[in-house]
Structure 1
Amino acid sequence: MPNYDSDSSDEGADYSTTNVTLGYATTEPTGDDISHLGGHPTWLDAQSPPPAALAKCKVCDGYMSLLLQLNADLQQFFPHDERRLHLLCCRKKSCSKKFGSIRAFREVKKPEAREKKETKSTEIPQEEPQPDLGTALFGGTSPRSQPNGVNPFALGGGGTLSGSINPFATIASPSTLASKPPQTPVDDSQPPVESFASKLKIGIESRPESGNQNTTEPWPEASDFPPPFTSFHLDAYPEDLEKETDANASAEASKAKYDTEDSGGGLDKDTFESSLDKTFQKFSDRVAQNPEQVLRYEFKGEPLLYSGADNVATRFVVPHGKSGAIRGMPRCESCGAQRVFELQLVPGLIYELEKDEAMDLEDGMEWGTIILGTCANNCGDAGKVAFREEWVGVQWEERVARK
């Protein structure tokens, strides 16, 4: 994990900070009881869990294991919505690299719809205080000051650079973010929240089912699931990258190591570059600068592709040497809105979740990255918790054949 004890504003720094926020696994409590890796999921309303259909692998129909639960409140985009993301995977070897073995869904609770009050024409209207613009646009019973366009995971206040505030910590209500500029509190009973979302700057692919999963089968008991992955807390820091010259040197070092370890006596430069997908090399070099990362978050950002040649890649880029338009992610089946990139998981998560498990090397997870696209409208049902399956693009692990 990067060291942020030094002053990041010093001139002549040998790194640059991107808009991506990186997630890290930790065994130390972070103050956030919502965001975590592995373990079992929890719900916005314990009395309203999702249907069991969302817990099942589409290949074998067996129950899956939780990879990630994230407090994904986005105050500047959806100021009154509570929001969580859940990603699960099937751990059966026979289901690996097959459609539907990794799934994700969004849990959202929207406020009650406001009812308009009718007044008789004979009544003398009483003067009432005018609500502020935020209340007029978004509803609510008390004025709120809204952040001006800062991504929910953006650094704010003390920020993560000082190390004094945990970016995933939930101090109080999970529906409020702490990435707001200094302001006068309106309601002392609603203190600001520090969530994962409060600190971010804001191959087969899954085909989500539309709308809510209408079924009477309830979410199963914890004992019905396979043994869960070890649970970890989730911490976050902004992504810092080395200077370009340093990054190039790192790439050359990676090549030299590859050549040295190759049992065939090493590969020349041309063979090396042609035998590796350049997109994969870019992925590896970027992740290697912060090797302990398990998650990359940038709402409405761009994913870091693991491969540039599979079906998932064509949704974001035009393959080299080919023509055509970028396909983009499928639209939300519930409301028809576009989906936007929100986060991706990277192989560091595999290491953290499997390092203490007794298994053969061939029995572990084999994905290179898991990309999550979510509804840009955060659609849901007013006054109650709703569950929407979201789009997941899985780029599976590739192995380069060496001569």
Structure 2
Amino acid sequence: MDETDSNPIAILGFAEEPEEPLPDLAFISKIGGKPNWLHYSKSMKAEDVTCKSCLKPMILLLQLYAPEDFPQEAFHRVFYVYICKNGKCHKGPFDECMVVYRSQLPEINEYYIEKDKIRTENDESDDDRNSDTESNISDFSEWVVNPEIKGPIKCVICGLQGTHKCGKCKKQYYCSKEHQVDDWVSGNHKAHCGTGEVEELKNYLFKEYEVLSEPEVIQVNDEQVEEGALISTKIDLEEEAEDSEVGVDKTFLEFQKQMESNPGQVLRYARNPDFKEDCSPLWVSESGKPYEKAVRKCELCGAERKFEFQIMPQMLNYLEVSSDLRDGIDWGTLLVYSCPENCETMGNIYAKEVIWRQQFSSDGIGDKYMKASLGLLDESDYNFGDIKI
């Protein structure tokens, strides 16, 4: 059967701690750390990602490299998801403490060149290269920053545009007064000012993990089913409910069941190029879905935004945030809706898209949710099957 005519399969993302520091390139997907700007010499400003609740700069949650074949301007394409690290801000409207931007470039641009093209131009003559060699070079080419491009002045703490600098040494740059003060007090710049020594401000950003992807495979523990075989993702909810609490949200049961085969997934990407249709969101609850006008049309071209990817609750396990559910960062899932036309970002460079937070419902999690709201959870309550909250 032609895969393009079957039910679409999501691309899953899994977090992996890098053995060595990740390169400063936008062509990788990662959790945390400092952003790698696709427009290499043009970084976002603090005001682009300022939390509307506490009025402080948010920090990078996810950088997702998601290139597209159409249009040409989306050959390189990156999403930047920012959230506020202050858990108290997440108790208010979520659109005040989280934001997502899309950035894209055509294949031929001023910032990047192919590494192997540099090598062949310098080390080989045209006469030495044959068609087979050129084909191999094309297949294994790697994009690197054009050495003629000057990098941006960035905040030493978070990587946003450096619009402020230390008034004493005039060498250390910051995105905001807040980060300048934090570095002076907590980052020991006061002790190192003028020496040229830079001490990284520890535990200020989310820890950096690379996100590796693979197609979703649903497995069942049944001797009659071949190991690793693909099965329908449709869940027999009535049978599942017989072994569950009365009144439990069936959408949550479906979510929990589908997560069992890949419990470590931190990301689900809906656009699988092997299929004609995109995947639907994996909802964590029947309630809390975006209402009709919540997903606005693209402000640049007027197209109806479509669901593209979602961030799973498992990502919370990698953020090293407070486990106190009353004051810590929390979500059931974060869904990102983007312009399906990949319209040009024009002079903005970074085009804002729509992010939606769906939380687990009290019907979905039952007594454990109620205990959490009362601050009565013990250690065993933090594990809902394979899903850690």
Structure 2: which 5+ residue stretches go unaligned? 1-5, 118-131, 144-160, 165-173, 183-202, 221-230, 272-277, 371-389
Q: 1:78 to 1:255 in 2, by over 3 A?
A: farther
2:33 to 35, 39, 54: 39
Tell me what 1:341 maps to.
307
Tell me what 2:331 maps to.
367
Residue 308 of structure 1: CA displacement? 1.9
Residue 230 of structure 1: CA displacement? 0.8
Tell me what 2:258 maps to.
286
- Work out the number of aligned pairs and report it: 274
Residue 45 of structure 1: CA displacement? 3.0
Following superposition of structure 1 onto structure 2, how do residues 218-367 of structure 1 map, counting pairs within 5 Å?
220=175, 223=179, 227-242=204-219, 256=243, 267=245, 271=246, 274=247, 276-299=248-271, 300-312=278-290, 314-315=291-292, 329-354=295-320, 360-367=324-331
SS of equivalent to 2:255: helix
Residue 367 of structure 1: CA displacement? 0.6
Following superposition of structure 1 onto structure 2, how do residues 3-402 of structure 1 map, counting pairs within 5 Å?
19-28=9-18, 33=25, 34-75=28-69, 78=72, 81-97=75-91, 98=93, 99-110=95-106, 188=137, 191-192=140-141, 220=175, 223=179, 227-242=204-219, 256=243, 267=245, 271=246, 274=247, 276-299=248-271, 300-312=278-290, 314-315=291-292, 329-354=295-320, 360-381=324-345, 386-399=349-362, 400-402=365-367
Residues of 2 paired with 1:301 and 1:86: CA distance? 21
Residue 307 of structure 1: CA displacement? 2.0
Q: 1:252 to 1:375 in 2, by over 3 A?
A: same
**Do the aligned partners of 1:110 and 1:380 also contact (CA within 8 Å) in 2?**
no
Residues of 2 paired with 1:171 and 1:28: CA distance? 23
Deviations 1:325-363 (A, max 9, x none): xx6832101111221211000111011222xx5654543
TM-score normalised by L of structure 2: 0.58
Residues of 2 paired with 1:374 and 1:250: CA distance? 31
Residue 86 of structure 1: CA displacement? 0.6
Q: 1:240 to 1:339 in 2, by over 3 A?
A: same
Residues of 2 paired with 1:29 and 1:253: CA distance? 41
Q: 1:235 to 1:381 in 2, by over 3 A?
A: closer
Residues of 2 paired with 1:217 and 1:334: CA distance? 27
Residues of 2 paired with 1:109 and 1:56: CA distance? 25
Residues of 1 paired with 2:78 and 2:317: CA distance? 24
TM-score normalised by L of structure 1: 0.57
Deviations 1:113-133 (A, max 9, x none): 9xxxxxxxxxxxxxxxxxxxx
Structure 1: which 5+ residue stretches go unaligned? 1-15, 114-169, 174-182, 195-214, 259-266, 316-326
Aligned-partner residue type, residue 239 of structure 1: E
More helix by share: 2
| Cα-Cα RMSD | 4.2
**Do the aligned partners of 1:346 and 1:370 also contact (CA within 8 Å) in 2?**
yes
Identical amino acids, percent of aligned pairs = 26
Q: Relative contact order, CA 8 A, sep 6+: which one is greater? A: 1
Residues of 2 paired with 1:252 and 1:336: CA distance? 44
SS of equivalent to 1:60: coil
Aligned-partner residue type, residue 104 of structure 2: V
